[in-house]
Amino acid sequence: MRRIGWVLLAGALLSARAASAGSVPIRVAIIDGASGGTYHNWRLTTPVLKKELEETGMFDVTVISAPPSDGDFSSFHPDLSRYQAIVMNYDGPDWPAELRAQFERYVSDGGGLVVVHAADNAFPDWPDYNLMTGIGGWRKRDERAGPYWYWKDGKLASDSSPGPAGAHGARLPFQVTTRDPEHPIMKGLPPVWMHVNDELYGTLRGPGKNMKVLATAHSDPRNKGTGLDEPMLMVVRYGKGRVFHTTLGHDVFALSCVGFITTFQRGTEWVATGRVTQKVPRTFPTANTVSYRVDIAEMDPGFLNGATPIQ
């Protein structure tokens, strides 16, 4: 396993050198600083997200650690307009009105936004954030947040039944199915690929406005699932801004999946520029075989200590 990891790492470094030749890097800010619980460890996951963007040679990444929602925002005044994309790795209940307004202006004026996993749990009572994410879960969301959204008979469907939002079963590998193969983020990816052990989010609710689902996963009732094809990767239009929302990525091991890495790198380029120039790596997972980066997985000390990634 270790040997395969080094082979993949060498490939990543080669592609990084190729991409960095003579182009101006895309300026990206990763916003972190809060989570719903210790199970979402942004101190571990932010360096992984940063590395995955930087190794392409295309992105210049700044980490902005915001105070937690009940913290002191009096000296927190980031200049979001400096960035072409913001990656949200932050999950808190609320932000001050001034910061919310600045964030809304940033995206509606054409700023790119990438929403990773539990960042769609954040801000249940901030309507415009929910317009940006399209769908979200937990934090007492219910039918007031919007309908449930899922994939049925070849298209996006919704269900306005009352009920809570957000659920997942045990962390097992699962297949991700492409639903929009012509979208620049998805172009060249296999129609079906196996994601490593991760939380398969289901019963997410939200306005779903200007939202396009790029990929889904079948939520298996034998693993507390809905029996539906749940949205995994989405794009949303908010004003002039582009949003890429991935529900994948619970922990470092989930982030080490080559499928996650590739869609995250391509999604970040797309929200910033409207184009994708990155190639799909040859190590991309197949329909029945996972593919993950050992050098990334090892960024979690639990992995190094031999803790099983399977739960």
Interface residues toward Zn ion, by CB under 5 A: 199, 250
Least separation in angstroms between residue 237's CB and Zn ion is 26
Which residues lie below 8 Å from residue 269, measured CB to CB, with a gap of 6+?
A: 26, 58, 275, 276, 277, 278
Least separation in angstroms between residue 70's CB and Zn ion is 21
Of the two residues 242 and 250, which places its CB atom closer to Zn ion in the complex? 250
CA distance 95 to 270: 27
Of the two residues 81 and 311, which places its CB atom closer to Zn ion in the complex? 311
Structure tokens at 81: 């307009």
Of the two residues 68 and 169, which places its CB atom closer to Zn ion in the complex? 169
**Which residue is closest to Zn ion by CB?**
250
Of the two residues 205 and 250, which places its CB atom closer to Zn ion in the complex? 250
Of the two residues 15 and 41, which places its CB atom closer to Zn ion in the complex? 41
Least separation in angstroms between residue 197's CB and Zn ion is 12
Least separation in angstroms between residue 250's CB and Zn ion is 4
Residue 229 φ then ψ, to 5°: -90, 105
Least separation in angstroms between residue 199's CB and Zn ion is 5
Least separation in angstroms between residue 118's CB and Zn ion is 5
Return the closest-CA partner of residue 157 out of 234, 84, 213: 213
What's the Cα-to-Cα distance from 261 to each of 215, 218, 231, rounded to whole Å?
Answer: 15, 21, 18
Residue 124 half-sphere exposure toward CB, CA atoms < 13 A: 18
Of the two residues 139 and 250, which places its CB atom closer to Zn ion in the complex? 250
> Is-contact 76 67, C-beta < 8 A?
yes
Least separation in angstroms between residue 73's CB and Zn ion is 25
* Sign of the alpha-carbon dihedral angle for 255, 259, 260, 265: positive
Of the two residues 52 and 55, which places its CB atom closer to Zn ion in the complex? 52
Of the two residues 118 and 131, which places its CB atom closer to Zn ion in the complex? 118
